Amino acid sequence: QIKDSATSTRDVLEQHFSDLKGTLKKLLDERLTSLLQEVDVIEQESIKPLDECQKLIEHGVSTADDLLREGESAVDGDVGQQNEKLCNFTKKALHIQLDSLPEVPSLVDVPCLSAQLDDCLLTILKNQIFRHGTVASRPPVQLEEFVEKPGGILVRWCKVDEDFSAQDYRLQFRKSPGSPFEDVYVGSEPEFLVLHMDPHVDYQFRVCARGDGRQEWSPWSVAQTGRTTLVPHEWTTGLEGYSLSSRRNIALRNDSQSCGVLYSKAPTYFCGQTLTFRQVLFGIETVGQPDRRDSLGVCAEQRRGDESLQRDQAVCVSTNGAVFVNGKEMTNQLPAVTSGSTVTFDMEVVQFGACSNEGGNFKLRVTISSNNREVVFDWVLDQCCGSLYFGCSFSYPGWKVLVF
Please give the Cα distance from 219 to 134 (Å, whole number).
10
Write down the pLDDT at residue 359.
Answer: 47
With a cut of 60, say whether residue 158 has pLDDT above it: yes
Please give the Cα distance from 384 to 358 (Å, whole number).
9
Contacts of 178 (CB under 8 A, 6+ apart): none
In 3D space, the residue among 342, 400, 331 whose CA is nearest the CA of residue 368 turns out to be 342
Write down the pLDDT at residue 258.
Answer: 82
SS3 content of the chain, % helix, strand, coil (to 5): 25, 30, 40
Please give the Cα distance from 264 to 267 (Å, whole number).
7
Residue ranges of domains in the chain, CATH in brackets:
1-131 (no CATH), 141-228 (2.60.40.10), 242-403 (2.60.120.920)
- Write out the H or E segment, with its range, that includes residue 363: strand 362-370
Please give the Cα distance from 73 to 71 (Å, whole number).
5
- Using DSSP, state whether 132 is helix, strand or coil: coil
Strand partners, 312: none
Would strands 203-211 and 152-159 be described as parallel, antiparallel, or unpaired? unpaired
Contact 317, 334 (CB under 8 A): yes
* 250-268 mean pLDDT: 91
Rg of the chain taking only CA atoms, in angstroms: 44
Phi, psi of 68 (to 5 degrees): -65, -45
pLDDT tens-place string over residues 281-333: 544 344 667 888 999 999 999 988 888 999 999 999 999 999 999 999 999 99
The string of DSSP codes covering 263-306 is EBSS--B-TTSEEEEEE---SSS-S----TT-EEEEESS--TT-
Contact 334, 370 (CB under 8 A): yes
pLDDT tens-place string over residues 28-80: 999 999 999 999 988 888 888 788 778 888 877 887 887 787 777 777 766 66
- Using DSSP, state whether 36 is helix, strand or coil: helix
Please give the Cα distance from 326 to 381 (Å, whole number).
9
Contact 315, 324 (CB under 8 A): yes
Place 97 in a pLDDT band, splitting at 50, 70 and 90.
Answer: low
pLDDT tens-place string over residues 221-255: 989 999 999 889 999 998 999 999 998 999 999 98
Residue type, 151: G
Residue type, 145: E
* pTM, full prediction: 0.61
Please give the Cα distance from 329 to 377 (Å, whole number).
12
Angle between helix 2-76 and 79-95 (nearest 10)? 140
Residue type, 137: S
What order do you get walking across the sheet with 141-149 strand by strand?
A: 141-149, 152-159, 191-194
CA 239 to chain centre: 37
Write down the pLDDT at residue 113.
Answer: 84
* Cα torsion angle, 261, 262, 268, 270, sign: negative
